[in-house]
Amino acid sequence: MQAFNIVEIGKGLESWRQVELPDPTPGPGQVLIRVKAVSLNPRDLMVVSGHFPIPPKEKAIPVSDGAGEIIAVGPGVTRWKVGDRVFGSYYQQWHNGQFPADAELYALGGPLDGMLAQLVTLPQSGIIRIPDHLSYEEGSTLPVTAVTAWNAVMESVPRMNPGATVLTLGTGSVSLFAIQFALACGFRVIATTSSQGKAERLQSMGVSYVINYKENANWQEEVLRLTNGLGVDQVIEVGGTGTLPKSLESVRSGGLVTLIGLLTGFADPINTSPILFKKIRLQGAGVGSIEMADVMAHTITALKLKPVIAEVFKFEEAKDAFAKLQDDQHFGKIVVRID
Ligand SMILES: NC(=O)c1ccc[n+]([C@@H]2O[C@H](COP(=O)([O-])OP(=O)(O)OC[C@H]3O[C@@H](n4cnc5c(N)ncnc54)[C@H](OP(=O)(O)O)[C@@H]3O)[C@@H](O)[C@H]2O)c1
């Protein structure tokens, strides 16, 4: 089979090499998947740049997100059959409940082999059914950013009621999925973006207010104005230390800031006094359990939600696809189709 391998950590995309590998066979409890599409995440680049805390195994197959069709099952597989359409869970050992301390050791796309290959084997417990109304390309967008957004918006305790206001930052894929889930719950969404064209697309999705964070550097003041000075109930914080101080100003007293990303940095000092004085709940969220992914997939089916895809590339163009992910011009997921 054709696959990509990570041949040297620390060289960015230079580390990706297209290689011919022996076809895998499913062991006990495993399924063999013909991968039809993968989608890309900033994390995939962090892994090959040596910026992810846990390095991949030697000659690992890159890319966490992928979807395909089961073409064979190993001994003892009872939950799946040939022909089933599935996506892989990013965390292979976080089945449900609390986040296990060692979960990151069993993540697809490093440390474990990822999905950028024509064939992969996965345990029957580590895959989720693709909603019937979604294509493989759309199914490939679900494992990382959709589950992260689901976890942030839907699994926060206490749950918010319809009418709550959620603030999203930028139009990365986490934010777009968070907007879709929030709107489906009857929440009001305020979003930021740097682009007029993207602002129009956000409004057409149902976002109530869009603020241009480039033109309006003090966007938190606009958020407060739009919420009668109270602030929003939840911020989906993908920016990191560059945006966190403004997110803390934007959230209401007792509200929730869910820290997910680090687009603007992660190590700068932060004034923590608003957290204390406003009694803000600041919570990290990263992807989610297999159970969360499964419930999310059922909800996407029920609501007929469609992931937003920016562009689909061919297998041989996987490195070009990554350049597209980095240019910040995209609106939605970057997908690589595998024929
Ligand atoms: N914790 C986890 O498990 C987890 C899971 C998934 C992702 N993440 C992280 O979450 C972040 C977002 O991921 P993604 O896949 O959604 O990224 P993405 O699709 O690459 O996001 C790119 C977009 O981010 C927006 N952006 C950049 N700088 C910004 C700023 N200063 N303020 C507001 N928006 C800004 C831009 O939106 P506009 O073009 O609209 O301005 C840009 O188009 C990344 O840091 C990623 O590593 C973490």
Dihedral sign from CA coordinates of 216, 217, 221, 224: positive
Q: Which of 238, 243, 283, 333 to mutate to test the pocket of ligand 1 (most atoms within 8 A of CB)?
A: 238
Residues above pLDDT 90, as percent of the chain: 88
Distance CA 180, CA 197 (A): 18
334 C-alpha to ligand 1 centroid (Å): 13
CA-based angle 131:136:140, to the nearest 5? 85
Closest ligand 1 atom, residue 260 Cα: 1
Cis peptide leading into residue 143 (ω within 30°):
no
Closest ligand 1 atom, residue 330 Cα: 43
- Tell me, what's the pLDDT at 197? 97
State mean pLDDT over 54-62: 89
41 C-alpha to ligand 1 centroid (Å): 9
- Tell me, what's the pLDDT at 213? 98
126 lines ligand 1 (CB under 6 A): no
State mean pLDDT over 88-109: 97
Q: Residue 50 — very low, low, confident or very high, per pLDDT cuts 50/70/90?
A: confident
109 lines ligand 1 (CB under 6 A): no
Name the residue with the closest Cα to ligand 1, atom 21. Answer: 172
- Tell me, what's the pLDDT at 157? 86
Domain boundaries for CATH 3.90.180.10 within the chain:
2-144+288-337
State mean pLDDT over 207-225: 98
220 lines ligand 1 (CB under 6 A): no
Q: Residue 10 — very low, low, confident or very high, per pLDDT cuts 50/70/90?
A: confident
- Is the CATH number 3.50.50.60 carried by domain 156-284? no
Tell me which of 45 and 72 has the higher pLDDT: 72
- Tell me, what's the pLDDT at 229? 98
246 lines ligand 1 (CB under 6 A): no
Q: Which CATH architecture has domain 2-144+288-337?
A: Alpha-Beta Complex (3.90)
Residues with Cβ within 8 Å of 168's Cβ and at least 6 positions away in sequence, in order, are: 175, 178, 179, 182, 189, 190, 191, 192, 236, 238
Domain boundaries for CATH 3.40.50.720 within the chain:
156-284
| Res 27 pLDDT > 90 | yes
Partner residues linked to 259 by β-bridges? 237, 284
| Res 221 pLDDT > 90 | yes
| Res 226 pLDDT > 90 | yes
Kindly calculate the radius of gyration of the chain based on its CA atoms and give it in whole angstroms. 20
Please check whether residue 277 is in contact with residue 262, taking contact to mean a CB–CB distance below 8 angstroms: no
The 10s digit of each residue's pLDDT in 148-207 is 999 999 999 888 999 999 999 999 999 999 999 999 999 999 999 999 999 999 999 999
State mean pLDDT over 272-297: 97
Please check whether residue 232 is in contact with residue 166, taking contact to mean a CB–CB distance below 8 angstroms: yes
Tell me which of 319 and 38 has the higher pLDDT: 38
Predicted TM-score (pTM) of the model is 0.98
239 C-alpha to ligand 1 centroid (Å): 7
- Tell me, what's the pLDDT at 295? 98
Residues above pLDDT 70, as percent of the chain: 100
Please check whether residue 166 is in contact with residue 178, taking contact to mean a CB–CB distance below 8 angstroms: yes
- Tell me, what's the pLDDT at 49? 87
Q: Residue 328 — very low, low, confident or very high, per pLDDT cuts 50/70/90?
A: confident
State mean pLDDT over 85-95: 98
Mean of per-residue pLDDT scores for the chain = 96
Name the residue with the closest Cα to ligand 1, atom 46. Answer: 261
- Tell me, what's the pLDDT at 51? 87
